[in-house]
Structure 1
Amino acid sequence: MRKTLPLIIFITLTGTMYALGQSAKAIIPLGGNAWVTGKATITDDGLTNWENPQDAISIYFRVDKAAELTFALRVRVPEGKSKISVTIGKHTFSKQVANTGFDTLSIGKVMLQPGYIKVDLKGISRSGNVYADVTDLIVEGVQSANELTYVRTGSSFHFGRRGPSVHLRYNIPQEIKKDVKWFYNEITVPQKMDVIGSYFMADGFSGGYFGMQVNSDTERRVLFSVWSPFNTDDPKSIPDSLRIKLLTKGDKVHGGEFGDEGSGGQSYLLYPWQAGKTYAFLLEAAPDKLYNSTTYTAWFKETGTDKWLLIASFSRPQTFGYLTDLYSFVENFEPDNGDKIRMAYYTNQWLGDSAGKWHAVTGAKYTGDETARKNYRKDYSGGLKDGRLYLRNGGFFDDLTPLNQKLEYRTSLPPPMIDFNQLPR
């Protein structure tokens, strides 16, 4: 008779999964997987400054199948004693904490269904300055490292808390593959999906990107940037011959440089765009063979109006050609808002050739960034909804759309009516 030997030990050197026998233990760091409502703080080391009884701390992870799991916290109280509550689904546990050094606090066992799980911490009473410092949520009873989704130790907690970015990479008709002079696209952000920290990018291309973002409760921008061909995150290190040159910009448009994600020229217009309204983005590429450069110009307007607003015109050196690698994306650049959902519809994509003839985009491929690809987060979706392309991310929703799907799509709307000679320059 063949014997099945028990699994003795399974260790990942990232310090996140351990197995003994036929079950495993997951160490979920709060630094990459927790958010606070209130004044407490989440750092890479975990939860600190937890003083206010109104503070609510939420930890998120995802289970792939129904399971009964056992929970604990790695916690300490620097001084005094505290009482805290831990809510997992419909189950709430009250626990006393008095250890001044970090130790494991057993919470309890809960039966869970597949999907995202939220674990809430609340302070009940304390005799010291804080309720507790917490570094990790410990989950026992999983069968393998792949059963749980969370941001792992050893990865970037900054990007993990920002959440996954998702993209639409547009098909370019073969007949204009090297002759896309114009790129027209429209964005509609549904009501309540315009979360602070969101960037809804419309016209991305091999040399830059153009879209709109939410910077604060009172500030919104239309942003257009072009990368330098010199690869660096420090714009000051770019040789003069490889700098992006701002040729012109629209009224009240800010012009400057950017770094930290490559470097180049940046422009933005403070503009109070609104959720629920549809906005049009128009991008032009004008290659100059004599100077081996290409000028990229961007315009923006609310659909239904006739007035195009010039954002900016940049010259990119050592670049000769029309638009390639066209895409859109939705991302969150504010880690503290990575627990909120954002979404945008992308409609009516048209490509104009150098003769001014429009060609409809015939489809797109739906992709994601590293946070999505490595399964640190699974709160993302994209595809076709009500005949429109859409992208959605953040907020720990359960209806995941797998990446790398090819979408067949063709707008039913007529091409835009644009007098190119009348565009502001």
Structure 2
Amino acid sequence: MNRKKMMATLLTIAVSAGYTFAQTAAAVLPGFTAYADPLEENVTIDEAKGIINWTDNTNAVNFYFHAVKTGPLKIALMAKSTAPNKIKVSINGTEKIISIPNNSDYEKIPALQTSIKQPGFYCISLKGVEKTGNSYAEIQSVTLEGAAAQQIQFNPKPWRRAASVHLNYPVPEGKNAEWFYGEIKVPAGEDKTGTYFMSCGFHRGYFGMQVNSPTERRIIFSVWDAGGEPEERSKVKYEDQVVMLAKGDSVIASGFGGEGTGGHSHWVYNWQAGATYRFLMHSVPTGNTTTYTAYFYVPEHQEWKLIASFRAPKDGKYMGHLYSFLENFSFENGHIGRKGYFGNHWIKTDTGEWIALTKAKFTNDATARAKDRIDYGGGVENGWFYLWNSGFKPANAQYGDLFERPAAGTHPEIVLPRF
């Protein structure tokens, strides 16, 4: 019997006897995909080198993945150090202290083995234990091997933000949205730094509120230029540029670039989680331009405040593609969950008719569509639409899902200040 026939016979015998051959599976989580908890301090997550400058053990360095298969899982680190150090590796209730030897080149260091008993999200956590040099370790990547490593999902890119999620509000055919009204409520604890809760978006711009830092929050309104220049506003022809016509007291306005170009305005305002905030957009088409004006209702003053008014060229129509979104714009905390409620959206047409927007289509961004991040969702709760992202928990909505909230029944009363 030749070798090929012998192997075929052995395979037939094994299969008929109920034996299976183990498949070797491996996945590599790049170091630049890690997150530091509670803050990215005394450690650097570098796009080229991974984890470096890890000088303090107050932070844990965490890697996240989603397991589809169950079974054994071996974990190893590609690491190096300028001096012998020790770190603790933990996952799924199993932990082990490992030594990082003094080595100028990255070395594959076995860490621990665990058993994945059910599909889901898992976290590999690294914690400094003993340091004799300046840094605990430089970690290029984490390697996963074993049956549970098959088909795992993780973000392979240095883009560490969560997926952005949107609510798209259909407008009845033949109706022109001259006014667009909406409300936002952010639950306590969901107002994470690096989050934009956007209430009133349309085909040329967006209007909402943002957490810029632990000490600063903003109301933001922006309108895009015409022409499609992606980065530098200096390259946009004057006739394609948005022009600011007016802005409110203490509002800062300027041009912007880097995500398309256009006119930007913001008001530094310490909005609070748990409160409900109201947003109002107005559009006035004239010839081939449209003037877009944003108003924010200030609860403390019980009146509407002008944020800004921009004239957009090459437009000449009322607001279209009405939507809200939730965005995480900071890399450092792209692993932390956030949630916002969006509700009571209305339009007032150019004929004076108020129409409630009670339906919304759920969509998401390229990060979600590429399946780099799969922790996001939305729906309806207590009469409000809601959106959430991050936190490494299972998605509860998919692209194209349709939501419907109950109608409030009464349109908002708007009394704007006289200029």
Q: TM-score, normalised by structure 2?
A: 0.90
User: Within 5 A, what are the aligned runs for 1:2-401?
Assistant: 22-36=23-37, 37=39, 38-44=41-47, 45-77=49-81, 79-98=82-101, 99-112=103-116, 113-142=118-147, 147-152=151-156, 155=157, 157-158=158-159, 161-176=160-175, 179-232=176-229, 233-289=231-287, 292-302=288-298, 306-398=302-394, 400-401=396-397
Q: Match for residue 14 of structure 1? A: none
Secondary structure of residue in 1 paired with 2:368: helix
Report the CA distance between 1:240 and its aligned residue.
1.2
Task: Give the SS at the match of 1:174.
Answer: coil
CA distance in 2, matches of 1:345, 1:262: 27
> 1:143 & 1:346 partners in 2: Cα distance?
39
Amino acid at match of 2:120: G
Q: Distance in 1 between matches of 2:139 and 2:149?
A: 25
| Displacement after TM superposition at 1:379 (Å) | 1.6
The one-letter code of the counterpart of 1:103 is E
Determine if contact 1:33/1:150 at 8 Å carries over to the other structure.
no
Classify 1:305/1:67 alpha carbon distance in 2 versus 1 (closer, same or farther; 3 Å): farther
Could you say what secondary structure the match of 2:105 adopts?
coil
Shift of 1:227: 0.2
What displacement does 1:33 show?
A: 3.5
Alpha-carbon deviation of 1:30?
Answer: 2.1
- Post-superposition shift, 1:5? 8.0
TM-superposed CA distance for 1:74, in Å, is: 0.8
Counterpart-to-counterpart distance in 2, 1:246 and 1:416: 27
| Alpha-carbon distance between aligned partners in 2 of 1:386 and 1:332, rounded to the nearest angstrom | 24
CA distance in 2, matches of 1:43, 1:329: 29
Is contact 1:23-1:143 (8 Å) kept?
no
Give SS of 2:387's match.
strand
In the TM superposition, residue 305 of structure 1 has moved relative to its aligned partner by 6.8
- Name the TM-score, length of structure 1 as normaliser: 0.89
Rounded Cα–Cα distance in structure 2 between residues aligned with 1:143 and 1:90:
16
Query: Would you say how many aligned residue pairs link Structure 1 and Structure 2?
Result: 399
Amino acid at match of 1:298: A
SS in 2 for 1:236: helix
CA distance in 2, matches of 1:171, 1:65: 40
- Please give the per-residue CA displacement for 1:202-233, whole angstroms capped at 9, x wherever unaligned: 11111011000011111110000000012111
> What are the superposed Cα offsets for residues 98-148 of structure 1, whole Å, 9 maximum, x if unpaired?
133101111122122322211111121132221110011111124786x32
Contact kept? 2:42, 2:53, Cα under 8 Å: yes
Equivalent AA in structure 1 for residue 279 of structure 2: F
Q: What letter matches 1:124 in structure 2?
A: V
Deviates more, 1:362-371 or 1:322-331: 362-371
Unaligned runs of at least 5 residues, structure 2: 13-20
For residue 404 of structure 1, report the CA deviation from its aligned partner. 2.1
Go from structure 1 to structure 2 and tell me whether the alpha carbon gap of 1:388 and 1:108 turns closer, same or farther (over 3 Å shift). Answer: same
The C-alpha deviation readout for 1:8-35, integer Å capped at 9, x for no partner, is xxxxxxxxxxxx9623211111202333
What is the identity, as a one-letter code, of the residue corresponding to 2:164?
S
Secondary structure, aligned partner of 2:367: helix
Checking the alignment, whether the CA contact within 8 Å between 1:365 and 1:406 is kept in structure 2 is yes
Mapped contact 2:36–2:332 kept (Cα < 8 A): yes
Give distance in 1, aligned partners of 2:180 and 2:374.
Answer: 31
- Contact 1:172/1:362, CA 8 A, preserved across alignment: no
* Paired residues of 2:67 and 2:148 also in contact (CA < 8 A): no
1:80, 1:306 → 2: CA distance?
62
Q: Distance in 1 between matches of 2:281 and 2:245?
A: 15
RMSD value, Cα: 2.2
The CA deviation string for residues 25-52 of structure 1, in whole angstroms up to 9 with x for no partner, is 1111120233344411111121001122
The alignment-based identity, stated in percent, is 37
Asked if structure 2 preserves the Cα contact closer than 8 Å seen for 1:33 and 1:151, the reply is: no
Structure 2 contact 225–261 (Cα < 8 Å) conserved? yes
- Residue 403 of structure 1 is matched in structure 2 by 399
C-alpha displacement at 1:65, in angstroms?
4.2
Q: Deviations over 1:240-289 (max 9, x none)?
A: 11111100011111111110000000001111111000011110110002
Distance 1:390 1:3, change over 3 A: farther
Structure 2 counterpart of 1:280, one-letter code: R
- Bigger drift between 369-378 and 122-131 goes to 122-131
SS in 1 for 2:332: helix
Aligned mates of 1:295, 1:267 — CA distance in 2:
15
Which residue is equivalent to 2:16? Answer: none
1:351 and 1:396 map into 2 onto residues whose CA distance is 35
Sort the Cα spacing of 1:334 and 1:47 in 2 relative to 1 into closer, same or farther, 3 A. same
Residue pair 2:80, 2:106 contacting (<8 A) in 1 also: yes
Q: Secondary structure, in 3 states, of the residue corresponding to 2:90?
A: strand
- Distance (whole Å) between structure 1 residues aligned to residue 387 and residue 399 of structure 2: 12
* Contact 2:54/2:137, CA 8 A, preserved across alignment: yes
State yes or no: 1:418 paired with 2:419. no
